Each structure stands twice: as C-alpha cells, then as structure tokens.
Amino acid sequence: MISGPLDHFRSGYVAIVGLPNVGKSTLLNRLLSTHLAAVAPRPQTTRHRILGILNGPGFQAVFLDTPGLLQPKYALQQQMKRQIDLALKDADLVMLVLDASRPDPDRGQVPPMLSGRKVLAVLNKVDLVRDKSSLLSEVDRLNKEGAAEVFMVSALRGGGVEQLKAGVAALLPEGQAFYPPDAVADRPEKFFAAEFVREAVFNLYGEEIPYSTAVVVDEFKERPGRKDYILVTIYIERESQKAILIGRGGMAMKRAGSMARRQIEAFLGRPVYLELRVKVAEAWRNDIRFIRENVYGSDRPSGTA
Ligand SMILES: Nc1nc2c(ncn2[C@@H]2O[C@H](COP(=O)(O)OP(=O)(O)OP(=O)(O)O)[C@@H](O)[C@H]2O)c(=O)[nH]1
Ligand SMILES: [Mg+2]
C-alpha cells in the first residue's frame, strides 16, 4: 500500500472498464463524491464515456466511466463498445472493476483486450461478501494475470475507496494537471440533464422500456428571475411503449419527471422546470443515423469528451 505525499505531481487518464452492472458508475460517483454518472440496478445503463476529474494532494486523476463490456448485438451496442475503445485509447491506466459478490468463472481474469496495459483491478461490492477470505484466491489470480494492484472496495458504502484513490495516484505518470483544479466534468449541463432523465427511466421501468429509450434535451433556457426551463423528448421504439411510459393518467411519467428533476436540481444546485414529451422513433436502436444524432450528438468526434 502506498501512502504519504507523492514526490512529483502526477496526472493521467484512468479508464474504468468492466462487465455491465459491476458498479463502475457508482464507483466514479464515489471517487468524485458527486452524482455525475447515471446508476441503475439493471445492466447497460451507461452509454457514453463520462469524464470525471479527481484532484488530490499532488495528483489529478481524469476518470473515464464506460459502458459495460459486451458482445454487441445491435447498432447502439456497437457504438457503446466504441466508447470503451476510445476511453482505452486515452488511458494511462485501466481500472478493471469486477463484481466480488457474483460467482463468475472468469471473474478473476484480466480480459485479453487489456494485455499490455497498466491495470489496476477493483473487486467491488465486497459489502455483499460475508467471507472476504474467499476472495484471496481471486486477488492472487489477478496479480498473476499482471494486475499492477488489486483493491477490494464497496463503491456503494465507500469502504476501501480512500486506499483506492491513493493507489491510483501512485500509478499515474508524472505530469502537469490537464484541467483546472475546480473542474469536475467536461460535458455541458444539458448532457447531464438528459442522463438524469434516462437514469429515472432505467430505475422506474421494467422489461424493454429502458433499452428502447433515448433522451434528447430540446431546450435548456436560463430565465432571469425564474427557474431554468428544460424541454426533453423521450424517444421510444414502438407506439405500444408510449402508453407504458406515460402510465395511467400520466402517473408513471409524472413520477419519472419528478425523480429526474430532483437529480438535475441537485446537480445544478438550482431549481428547474422540467417538461417531458414522448415520441416514437421506430426501432432506433438499429438506426445508426438516429444514434449518431440523438444519442452521441453532443460527443466530439475524437478526444476525451
Ligand atoms: N451492494 C452493492 N451494490 C453496488 C455497489 N456498487 C454498485 N452497486 C449496485 O450495482 C448496480 C449497478 O451499478 P452501476 O454503477 O450502474 O453499474 P455499472 O457497472 O456502471 O453498470 P453499466 O453502466 O450498466 O455497465 C446498482 O444497483 C448499484 O447500486 C457496491 O459496492 N455494493
Ligand atoms: Mg455505468
């Protein structure tokens, strides 16, 4: 374990990768002590690489949360995979997150795609594991596979996260900060507003609805003396999903709207007026043009945003 001040300033990009639902976004939020990335109990919540900056004593770590690793089956998933590739391209260090609470024969293994990379392995969700000694063989295996360090954490509760930060800092290359010390993220407020609406949908609806949902902010107006006005379109893939999304008497939509509004307000630190509307974009998950324009529309063509 490395502790104490670092000799030289260190800085670098850290890609957070791992299977869907292992707690990557929860960990990003915990590392930054901010609710930046959408979190949900279901897999494939994250669709973008989401940059979050941690400034610590003598270091700046620029984390890139990514979608879960999977074999793409449709155009949206192909683009999600691309986000992982782009994050890895920029990364000085890879934080491989594994779910310590789930029996998985491959869990203790570093994926071949990460060979040759500096990998820091994180066994997450240890709060769910009664017998922590049962994890030691995996720690061993990860070390043998070439992980530079292995940490056990609970992203949800915070256990082990301070040690993890120190571990990250020590593995970063020497160098100047990339961002000013007060920066936390690099995306516009509009992006996070859309993500919090999607997060509400992922948390409140079942079955196919979350996966058929794309969220676009059509208007984001600051109004002097009044609440900000945010107009959002929620796209779904079929007419029949519209009724489910809206719910009887609009109740389901109302619930999603107030959940999203509370998150947006907490993030912005000011009250907003959030208006939601629903539109059908037939089978958009396989429509690359729709995906480029509406899901990744705010992404820069290259770079780290
Ligand atoms: N008990 C427990 N649950 C956790 C922990 N970390 C994350 N979770 C839960 O695991 C679920 C998935 O968390 P996410 O952070 O969305 O996982 P992810 O890896 O970003 O998932 P994708 O974006 O879908 O790939 C959520 O219900 C979290 O609350 C943890 O340390 N302990
Ligand atoms: Mg995620």
| Distance from Cα 223 to the centre of ligand 2, integer Å | 32
pLDDT in tens, the chain (305 residues): 454 556 799 999 999 999 999 999 999 999 999 999 999 999 999 999 999 999 999 999 999 999 999 999 999 999 999 999 999 999 999 999 999 998 776 676 778 888 889 999 999 999 999 988 889 988 998 999 889 999 999 999 999 999 999 999 999 999 999 999 999 999 999 999 999 999 999 999 998 999 999 999 999 999 989 999 999 999 999 999 999 999 999 999 999 999 999 999 999 999 999 999 999 999 999 999 999 999 998 765 443 33
Q: Is residue 75 part of a domain?
A: yes
Q: Are residues 41 and 145 in the same domain?
A: yes
To which H or E segment does residue 280 belong? Answer: strand 272-280
| Distance from Cα 227 to the centre of ligand 1, integer Å | 32
DSSP 129-178: -S-GGGGHHHHHHHHHTT-SEEEE--TTT-TTHHHHHHHHHHHSPB---S
- At residue 255, the pLDDT reads 96
Q: Are residues 199 and 247 in the same domain?
A: yes
| Distance from Cα 26 to the centre of ligand 1, integer Å | 6
| Distance from Cα 147 to the centre of ligand 1, integer Å | 22
Q: Is 68 in the pocket of ligand 1 (CB under 6 A)?
A: yes
Atom of ligand 1 nearest to the CA of 43: 24
Q: Are residues 280 and 208 in the same domain?
A: yes
Q: Are residues 243 and 118 in the same domain?
A: no
Q: Is 39 in the pocket of ligand 1 (CB under 6 A)?
A: yes
Note every long-range contact of 222-228, with CB atoms under 8 Å and residues 24 or more positions apart, other chains counting. Answer: 226/273, 227/270, 227/271, 227/272, 227/273, 228/268, 228/270, 228/271, 228/272, 228/273
Q: Is 45 in the pocket of ligand 1 (CB under 6 A)?
A: yes
Q: Is residue 33 part of a domain?
A: yes
- At residue 6, the pLDDT reads 63
- At residue 303, the pLDDT reads 38
Start-to-end CA span in the chain (Å): 32
Q: Are residues 227 and 155 in the same domain?
A: no
Atom of ligand 1 nearest to the CA of 65: 20
Whether 124 contacts 100, CB under 8 Å:
yes
From 26, 32, 123, 196, give the residue whose CB has the most ligand 1 atoms within 8 Å, as the site to mutate: 26
Model pTM score? 0.93
* Domain termination site, one of 113, 143, 171: 171
For residue 202 the two structure tokens come to: 């992922």
Q: Is 11 in the pocket of ligand 1 (CB under 6 A)?
A: no
- Rounded distance, CA 219 to CA 205, Å? 25
| Distance from Cα 12 to the centre of ligand 2, integer Å | 21
Q: Is 67 in the pocket of ligand 1 (CB under 6 A)?
A: yes
- At residue 305, the pLDDT reads 36
The parent domain of residue 30 ranges over: 10-171
Q: Are residues 80 and 149 in the same domain?
A: yes
Q: Are residues 158 and 18 in the same domain?
A: yes
- Shortest-distance Cα residue to atom 16 of ligand 1: 39
